[in-house]
Amino acid sequence: MPRRSYDQYCGLARALDVLGERWTLLIVRNLLLGPQRYSELLRGLPGITTNLLAKRLQEMEAQGLIAHGEAANDATAYRLTSVGRDLEPAIHALGRWGWRRMGKPTSRDRRSVEWLLVALRRRYRGDVNLSTELEADGTFYHIVLRGGRAEIGRGRVPAPDLRVRGKGIEIARLFLDGLPRDPDASSLEIDGNARQLRSLISAFETGDPAASAAR
């Protein structure tokens, strides 16, 4: 049992016993795209201290949410266990709920293309067969669409149909705003044809502002 508990025989209370500490669900969110080293988690969670991150990781490992090592041949990486991955629908539901209570972003609000990619995992509403490699600010990601499923995560994909390279903010705007009216005004590098790019963007439902974390 957790060190602190609501001591209530209720599923929600039991979940909060494990997940109620600050940063826990955000660590899960960041690991949904794939394993990360401690330094990568620290960099991707602006505002957390190194001591608090170490404490949360230790607690989450003890609860069986994450495992250390044995991921992509990297003994220093943290990854979600099957128990941790089961939280993805709850992460998405909370994201939708929370957006309705947000106002306009402030100068203090941080943005990340990774948070957008997590949101895209739930937004797929297509029947497309397309593999895409994204290089955002020098980091590689992949979006592999196969029928009714979308695999979105960190890392490259072999022989992609489409490659998109550029600033994370511009890649995010493709999904948030659609194709730019003036393609020459964009600095994105596209390796593929316009039809494939349109298919990629249209595969994700529009009008969901919860994905605008990277905007």
CATH of the domain at 178: 3.30.1050.10
Length of the chain as a residue count: 215
- Residue with more model confidence, 6 or 76: 6
pLDDT at res. 156: 96
> Where are any strands of DSSP class E within the chain?
36-37, 66-68, 77-80, 128-136, 139-147, 149-154, 162-166, 189-191
The reply to whether 93 falls in a domain is no
Give the pLDDT mean for 153-174: 94
The reply to whether 100 falls in a domain is no
The reply to whether 162 falls in a domain is yes
Q: Tell me the per-residue pLDDT of 2-46, one tens digit each, with 9 for 90 and over.
A: 467 999 999 999 999 999 999 999 999 999 999 999 999 999 999
Indicate the SS3 state at residue 152: strand
> Are residues 118 and 63 both part of a single domain?
no
pLDDT at res. 180: 77
pTM for the complete prediction? 0.87
Q: Tell me the per-residue pLDDT of 126-141, one tens digit each, with 9 for 90 and over.
A: 788 999 999 999 999 9
Indicate the SS3 state at residue 58: helix
Q: Tell me the per-residue pLDDT of 181-197, one tens digit each, with 9 for 90 and over.
A: 776 668 899 999 989 99
Give the pLDDT mean for 172-181: 84
- Which of 67, 60, 76, 78 has the alpha carbon at shortest distance from 21? 60
Which structural domain range is residue 76 located in? 11-86
Enumerate the β-bridge partners of residue 145.
130, 150
Q: What percent of the chain has pLDDT over 90?
A: 66
The reply to whether 127 falls in a domain is yes
The reply to whether 102 falls in a domain is no
Give the confidence band of 215 by pLDDT, cuts at 50, 70, 90.
very low
Domains contained in the chain, number: 2
